[in-house]
Amino acid sequence: MEIGAGHGVALEAVRASGVHASLAALDALDREDKFLAVGAGTGSDVGADVDVLQRRFELRLDRLEVVKRLEAQLAAVKARDVAETVEIQHAMLAPDAPVHERTFAEMSAVEEIAGVLTISSGAAGAFVEQSRRVCSLPPVLAALSAGAVSWQHARIVADETEGLSPDGAAGLVAHFFDPDAPNPARGAAPGELVPARFRAKVRTWRERHHPETLEKRHAKGVADRRMEYTPDRDGMAWISLCLPGHIASAIWNRTTATARGLQGPDEARTLSQLRPDIAASLLLGAGSAGDTDSAGPTEAGQVPTPRADVLVMVPVFSVLGQTDEPAVLDGLGPIPASMARKLVADGAESFYRVLVDPRDGAPLEIGRTRYRLPETIKQWIRMRDGKCTFPGCSNHTNDNDTDHLTAWDHGGTTGAGNLGQLCPKHHRLKHARAWIPDEATKNESPGWTSPTGRHYKPEHPDPEPTHWPPGIMPMPAATPCLDAGPEDLPQWEPDDDQLIDLNDLSPEDPVWAEFFAKPFVLSG
């Protein structure tokens, strides 16, 4: 992949000025901190209205922000130099040089890079490929050079665009880095998301827009399922299972629920220790999930048989078989429509179906007006938020709390706009320190403001407009696809006066509630 010369010249100026500006900002913050430290140590007056300790606390946060930006800018310099090193090595060869000479020239350049960076040859080769791909995606390189994203974020884009066509890669990059794209990503910008959350969003988009259907790729994945064994230190070893996502999710949730059922005053093992003990006991046929040590067997009747719900968010038309739009499995991401239909048709008790409203792509809400939440609303909030809503938290376990964002005692209501998912740790922090959540909506989780005034945008699951079957006009609230607007689609009108035209119904019409309450008959 070649790096555009014109764009490279523009980036050189941004890169140089950015690094210098970051170094200057770091120096200014360091000088202010030293001034406050000396003033506090000598007892001199540094300003009657200045809280020295609070300001020095904030200065360290400010310096961390600058260092983060500087690290990203230096990573851009590093990636650019690595990619150009290999390019220049190739340029030194004659235009008609045979393939084996070009191969050995690149191998030699990679080994030089490995020696300079003190990394293995394999790591250097992977770094070269990642650097080439990042440099071939100008918006990503520009964001890295400006310090708006970290090298981890840039590497995620490089990984997830591998195997895509140039147009597919450009579409993925535009979705996350171009605010003027037809359907840009909502909520927090890429650099405001922790890498794991950013990868989840990028992978979800890639799954939906990959040129090869998810059904076909899933079939190949099922054929490649496997079990792996890896020895580890200290007499330990790893066992890994590669399984279809819904089976893996059910195993994880069932193991976790069983572990929680075994916890009590007489159980010294932690949740993390109980999970592998339960799995090993069941796989080895030890008699029961609790019989995992030499203390004596545990009666099977004493081990709870939990209901480990796995949420499946299914587009209405997909479950009817009229479209093949992917469903979303809680904690995993997109799954083939055929898998979702099978889970619903088989009546699997461990899978809790949540239908997606075709008007706006949001999970359907069941409203309540009292303080105590029924299980249905808790499940709905889980699907809307996807995980704990606190900035950077990836906890999506079943026992997360559904919290009143504004406390009930302070006038908060029990509605979608005042409910958010919080893990126990961040729920306690919210009540102990001044972390303030924003309001939520029926399809948007809340953002947060820290005690120092920093605002963190909500990490939206970022659902895309649902797919409507051919010949049916979407409601105005829904965007049918990325390439066409409602004016580009044929208008649909019912031929029978007794039928209802969906376009004539408001989103609040009770007919919708009656429609979604009806049982679904799956197409053959």
* Residue 28: predicted pLDDT: 93
pLDDT on residue 347: 55
SS3 state at 312: strand
- State the pLDDT at residue 470: 73
User: pLDDT at position 27, please?
Assistant: 92
The C-alpha angle 111, 114, 117, rounded to 5 degrees, equals 150
CA separation for the pair 182, 482 (Å, rounded): 6
The series of mean pLDDT values per 10 residues for the chain, 524 residues long, is 46 62 92 84 62 91 94 95 93 89 89 92 93 95 95 95 89 93 86 91 87 86 91 88 87 87 89 91 67 40 45 76 80 80 64 64 47 62 82 78 80 75 88 87 83 84 69 53 40 49 57 56 44
| Both structure tokens of 388 | 């704990």
pTM: 0.67
* Per-domain residue ranges of the chain: 5-210, 242-302, 310-361+463-517, 375-456
- Per the DSSP assignment, residues forming a β-bridge with 401 are 422
Among 270, 283, 274, residue whose Cα is nearest residue 229: 283
The string over 352-377, giving b where at least 16 C-beta atoms fall within 10 Å of a residue's C-beta and e elsewhere, is bbbbbbbbbbbbbbeeeeeeebeeeb
CA distances, 254 to each of 332, 348, 350, 382, 393 (Å): 15, 14, 9, 18, 22
Are the CB atoms for 415 and 404 separated by under 8 Å?
no
CB 444 within 8 A of CB 293: no
